[in-house]
């Protein structure tokens, strides 16, 4: 009887570790350093996306080449709240790729995200939102980039894992347990939030902590509604095939300023964001290859991938057209 109890206890701990200890890096900015083209890096090859297919036929090959973008840190946008979006404040608000010194105690030599926010000096509540250059697709296929910068999709990537493994998307996420962020503070009293988006297109704003510390710190949000005891959970069976696997992706990071806090510049640095969670679906081996027979998941994911790409491509083309209309000093000098 005692041996059976030990066996059950061991089984519970193994099962509990499997159930509760799922951890994944949502985004690792040290992997988003610019590395392409090799002679003058401006883009991140792993996350590069080509939107030129959505541009129409009136653009030249040179124009189309400029419609490629990636999650390289310098491409991220930092937008102030409408009430604070004055020309000079927005001009001084930006994200930059920043190297950590080789002598640093943590993350030595990494290239991470540095953020500068310039708030107005008037005493009112405000915020700044750090957003990726495009909404991170959950179903984009893996790809490679050739010497000419052409993005070549890997058609064997059936589930679309281009932005998983630390590039903004985590799949098979049920209940969030914690969200953690490694960041470098400089004693600013502002708050910081992580914005997640799920498979139902709903945004979840998670307040992490205040940035009133100096140096590296791992700040963590713990889900107050997380039920750790299995016996207290509402148990129900989840239909399997062909249900889509739930996911979360990074929609942005917010910095909030209270009316009582001073305006002007704030500087901070972010290395990565990690989540722990329950799996939404246990991934068992099944005796029938249902997808090979019905093809339902492939059809659904292809449709979602196309919808994501169409929406993001339209925005990128509009941005390119806007840059073409902007004033250039070199052109003015030539006239």
pLDDT in tens, 274-294: 999 998 877 656 677 777 788
CB-based contacts of 54, cutoff 8 Å, min separation 6:
309, 310, 313, 314, 316, 317
Reference 250, options 228, 222, 270, 227; nearest CA is: 270
Q: How far, in Å, CA of 203 to CA of 129, rounded?
A: 14
Tokens of residue 257, six digits:
């300023």
Q: How far, in Å, CA of 89 to CA of 163, rounded?
A: 32
Mean pLDDT throughout 301-318? 70
Task: Please answer whether residues 67 and 48 qualify as being in contact, where contact means their C-beta atoms are separated by less than 8 angstroms.
Answer: no
Determine the pLDDT at residue 1.
41
Q: Measured on CA atoms in the order 186, 191, 196, 201, is the torsion positive or negative?
A: negative
142: Cα within 13 Å, side-chain hemisphere: 9
Reference 301, options 132, 116, 152, 139; nearest CA is: 139
Determine the pLDDT at residue 183.
97
pLDDT in tens, 40-86: 999 999 999 887 766 666 666 766 666 788 999 999 999 999 999 99
**295 or 36: whose pLDDT is higher?**
36
Task: Please answer whether residues 35 and 44 qualify as being in contact, where contact means their C-beta atoms are separated by less than 8 angstroms.
Answer: yes
Q: Please, what is the average pLDDT of the chain?
A: 84
Mean pLDDT throughout 120-143? 93
């Amino acid at each position: 009887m005692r041996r059976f109890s030990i066996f059950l206890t061991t089984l519970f701990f193994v099962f509990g570790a499997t159930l509760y200890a799922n951890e994944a890096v949502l985004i690792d900015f040290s992997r988003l350093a610019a590395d392409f083209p090799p002679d003058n890096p401006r883009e991140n090859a792993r996350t590069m996306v080509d939107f030129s297919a959505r541009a129409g036929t009136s653009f030249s090959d040179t124009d189309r080449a400029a419609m490629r973008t990636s999650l390289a840190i310098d491409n991220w946008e930092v937008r102030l709240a409408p009430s604070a979006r004055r020309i000079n404040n927005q001009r001084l608000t930006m994200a930059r790729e920043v190297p950590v010194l080789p002598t640093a105690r943590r993350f030595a030599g990494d290239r991470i995200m540095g953020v500068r926010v310039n708030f107005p000096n008037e005493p009112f509540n405000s915020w700044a939102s750090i957003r990726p250059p495009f909404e991170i697709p959950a179903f984009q296929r893996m790809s490679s980039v050739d010497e000419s910068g052409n993005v070549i999709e890997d058609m064997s990537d059936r589930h679309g894992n281009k932005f998983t493994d630390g590039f903004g998307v985590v799949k098979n996420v049920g209940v969030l347990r914690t969200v953690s962020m490694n960041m470098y503070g400089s004693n600013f009293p502002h708050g910081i939030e992580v914005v997640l988006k799920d498979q139902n297109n709903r945004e979840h704003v998670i307040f992490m902590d205040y940035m009133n510390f100096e140096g590296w710190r791992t700040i963590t949000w713990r889900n107050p509604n997380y039920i750790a005891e299995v016996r207290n959970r509402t148990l129900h069976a989840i239909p399997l095939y062909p249900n889509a696997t739930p996911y979360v992706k990074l929609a942005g990071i917010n910095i909030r300023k209270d009316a009582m806090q001073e305006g002007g510049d704030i500087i901070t640095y972010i290395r990565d964001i990690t989540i722990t969670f329950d799996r939404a679906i246990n991934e068992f081996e099944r005796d029938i290859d249902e997808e090979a027979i019905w093809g339902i998941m492939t059809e659904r994911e292809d449709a979602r991938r196309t919808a994501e790409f169409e929406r993001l491509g339209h925005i990128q083309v509009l941005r390119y057209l806007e840059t073409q209309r902007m004033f250039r000093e070199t052109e003015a000098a030539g006239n």
